[in-house]
Structure 1
Amino acid sequence: MKIGVVTFPGSLDDVDAQRAVTIGGHQAVALWHGDHDLRGVDAIVLPGGFSYGDYLRCGAISRFSPVMAEVIAAAGRGMPVLGICNGFQILCESHLLPGALIRNDHRKFVCRDQRLRVENNRTPWTSAYAEGAEITIVLKNGEGGFVADEATLDRLEGEGQVVARYLGDNPNGSLRDIAGVTNAAGNVVGLMPHPEHAVEELTGAGTNGLGFFTSLVEQSFA
């Protein structure tokens, strides 16, 4: 598959995401925030970083980048979209995912290996994992606390839209220990931890993150 990785001004994990896509057996396609087309890709990754310096709110300016009009339209047609960290924030700001990400409750940046439980393995990005699988990948954020009103949280829980949950100490105050969610259709996933930093034995937390990139099957969503 051809998987587009979007670079915004301030993205810093775009190259890591491209490498993870390649290790996962796909062709990585570099997309720029100013692009007006998706160059025939089959799926999209919005990487981590500090797009537009996190001014206003994290992801709030990137949401209006030209490429996001194309991403929103493609997601509506069923194309798989994965937002990692800042990408998750952009997806929430774009209303492709419910809820919001706010400053960590302890007001400090956190960077550590983080244990997660995969709650939903029925998305294009998580099918390589067993439901309930416990994995360890890298977490690094200053504004990673997932919040939503109680009705939305109940809906996410009841409809299986919680993709991953923190295990052990909650690193950022996310409500109900939520680390990642999906939309109702299941094709759009946001994840605060960084699976692209856990795809090789040589570096990082091992290879527990690789499943997010090997899960995609060969089919066209364009």
Structure 2
Amino acid sequence: MAKQVRAIVLTGYGTNCEREMAHACRAAGADRVDVVHLSDLLDGSVRLDDYHFLNLPGGFLDGDNLGAAQAGAHRLRYARVAGSGERLMDQVLRFVKQGGLVLGVCNGFQLMVKTGLLPGFGGRYEERRVSLTYNDSGRFEDRWVTCRVEPASACVFTRGLDLLELPVRHGEGKFVAADDETLRRLEAEGLVVLRYADPGTGVPTMDYPANPNGSLRSVAGICDPTGRLFGLMPHPEAFHHRTNHPRWTREDLPEEGAGLAIFRNAVQYVRDNC
């Protein structure tokens, strides 16, 4: 059992949600939360080996040049850590192999799929099979959505959860796959975690704006086969308290925002397993 849950939140190169994510980690009970610039990993002054829980926040990584998170994915895959000779991706893969948790939100989700960390079929974390592309609406979507948690999912972050109301804010959030076989495997192996749902019925939908981007099969988030790597387009860190909700003055909402449960599950998993 971990005596102290240590979380790292990466920032830099256009990331802009790192403080929200760090706050959510602290509010969920993490004992140590460090916001670390990616350059500190590259110069070797900080190492992922010292943490249990890696957070990849949203933002506009590298200005979304070449497509959302594409430039950042090349940096993660090929940049070398000073003084070690290893790629930064080698350090990430070791972190995963040793049991670490990775949460990618919005731009962080885009980064995970474009490096091949997700879906990670059979532990192959560098084969890209899915992506996130331009919204069908042709514009940036900034709205609240309802997501249904798939009960058969392997994801450790969503255990005990059912429906989640969370905000989205993205221009490239449409989930796509390389082929129908990839979609079939995602569903058959329990790797689809969240689906955009009708707010009235909780049933997954392709209808706009409940599905804000046209994601195939209404997919809003996926995990890898271990359930420890989770990426989603909605922002759980942006709903950690009732006052984050647009109707907080008009409805009797719980004090704790629905998104915080995802971070609580992560912290509890680390305490129980690391």
Same-fold status (TM-score > 0.5):
yes
Unaligned runs of 5+ in 1: none
1:151–1:110 CA distance, 2 compared to 1 (3 A): same
> Alignment partner for residue 156 of structure 1, among 161, 174, 186?
186
The code of the aligned residue for 1:52 comes to D
| 5+ residue gaps, structure 2 | 80-87, 120-129, 199-209, 247-255
CA distance in 2, matches of 1:68, 1:18: 22
How far apart, in 2, do the equivalents of 1:62 and 1:69 lie?
15
- Whole-angstrom distance in 1 between the partners of 2:217 and 2:171: 18
SS for the counterpart of 1:90 is helix
Partner of 2:131: 100
Structure number having the greater helix percentage? 2
Q: How does 1:27-176 map to 2 (within 5 A)?
A: 27-34=32-39, 35=41, 36=44, 37-38=47-48, 40-63=50-73, 64-65=75-76, 66=79, 67-98=88-119, 99-120=130-151, 122-127=154-159, 129-130=160-161, 133-148=162-177, 149-168=179-198, 169-176=210-217
Using structure 2 for the length normalisation, give the TM-score.
0.75
Tell me, in whole angstroms, the C-alpha distance in 2 between the residues paired with 1:211 and 1:161: 19
Inter-partner Cα distance in structure 2 for 1:80 and 1:28: 14
Q: Report how many aligned residue pairs link the two structures.
A: 218
Q: What is the one-letter code of the residue matched to 1:126?
A: T
1:25 is aligned, of 29, 35, 40, to: 29
Shift of 1:123: 2.4
The corresponding residue for 1:2 is 6
Residue 71 of structure 1 deviates from its aligned partner by 2.2
Q: Report the structure number with the largest CA radius of gyration.
A: 2
Root-mean-square deviation (Å)? 1.7
Distance 1:186 1:124 in 2: 5
Aligned-pair identity (%):
34
